[in-house]
Amino acid sequence: MSVSKPMTEDELRGLVRHGAITNFFINLVLNAGIVWALLSGAEALTAFGEEAYGPDLLITGFLLSGIISAITIMTHRSKVVKGTLGAPAFASGGWLDSVAGWNHWATCLAIAALGTALSGVLLVVLAAALPSLSVGSYAVGKGVYTGVLAAALVGPTTRIGLRLGTDSVAVATS
């Protein structure tokens, strides 16, 4: 198993920035497109009811957070283990240190629960402020929200993946 030279903090920031920008645009277009394709026949959407955006928003918060976390964590962990990416020397990561010690599936589930909670807060705010939304408004809003959520997840999950990869290499070499 070869070990790549550890990346600098600037290289890590560049890696995270690239992943965040990519995830933002992919999720903006994909989620707005899905809303438009599935709901374009509706007159107006309400938070709850027959043509509602509430369940969609909550399910999306869970799935998007879980999927982005799983992909990012496993990709970066695998690259460190294979030696194609060198993790930076980690200073104390605070809460990330404890999260990185979990099983990566448990970590993804916890992050998915946080994404659902964040979507729930957004749902309450939207439901209180707007009695109904047009499909176009919801599509654009959901696209922006999911883009921002996906981009925000990249930094912490990249660090967790790199940390898990570093821990796996340390166990394998000891």
Spans of all domains in the chain: 25-84+104-169
How far from the centroid of its chain's Cα atoms is residue 89's Cα?
Answer: 24
CB 78 within 8 A of CB 165: yes
CB 122 within 8 A of CB 145: yes
Cα torsion angle, 44, 50, 55, 59, sign: negative
Phi-psi region at 170: left, alpha or beta (left = phi > 0; alpha = psi -120 to 50): alpha
Tokens 């959520």 sit at which residue? 149
The overall average pLDDT reported for the chain is: 89
Q: What is the largest CA-CA distance in the chain?
A: 63
Lowest model confidence (mean pLDDT) among 43-52, 77-86, 91-100: 91-100
pLDDT of 91 higher than 60: no
Measure the CA–CA gap between 133 and 127, rounded to whole angstroms: 10
Predicted local distance difference test score (pLDDT) of residue 1:
47
pLDDT of 159 higher than 50: yes
